[in-house]
Amino acid sequence: MLKTLVWPEKSYQSLDRGIRFAVRVLHAAGFETCQSCQGGKGHAYSEPTVDLRAEADDARGFGALAALRTYGLPIAEVAIVWPVQNGFPYEKLWRVTFSKTMEDRADEKPRFVFGYFPT
């Protein structure tokens, strides 16, 4: 079963322009995001960043990397992050950091085609 997460358009419009396309790409490829930020002064992160929930299969972050590379996005780093609360790790996340924002692609809509197409 293909799991595709696509939000209503108005929900994407509420995201930072500099990270919006990356989130769209991840959703179109079936990856759930849990937070994103275009980074910079006054933002939660210093660089453009998208966090994804990690699941039992730690390889999902590499799948997200492949989806983002398909669209030539400027990926700087992909990492597994363990936030700490009260001295203990409480949630494992995949974090994708980009080398620059992507405002010029904010309203572009990705398309992935899945399946077998005989020639």
Beta carbons within 8 Å of 33's beta carbon, 6+ residues apart: 23, 26, 27, 50, 51, 52
Question: Given this model, what pLDDT does residue 4 score?
Answer: 54
Residues 62-83, mean pLDDT to the nearest whole number? 94
- φ, ψ of residue 34 to 5 degrees: the values are -120, -20
Average pLDDT over residues 40-45: 92
Domain range list for the chain: 9-102
Q: Residue 90: its pLDDT value, please?
A: 85
Is residue 52 within 8 Å of 91, Cβ to Cβ?
Answer: no
Q: What is the DSSP letter of 99?
A: S
CA 2 to centroid of chain Cα atoms: 18
Spatial neighbors of 8 by CB under 8 A, at least 6 apart, are none
Q: Higher-confidence residue: 57 or 16?
A: 16
pLDDT bucket at 59, cuts 50 / 70 / 90: confident
What would the mean pLDDT of 43-54 be, rounded to a whole number? Answer: 94
pLDDT band, residue 75 (cuts 50/70/90): very high
Average pLDDT (30-53) is 93
Per the confidence metrics, is the pTM higher than 0.95? no
Mean pLDDT is lowest, of 27-41, 50-64, 74-88, 103-117, for 103-117
Mean pLDDT of 64-89: 94
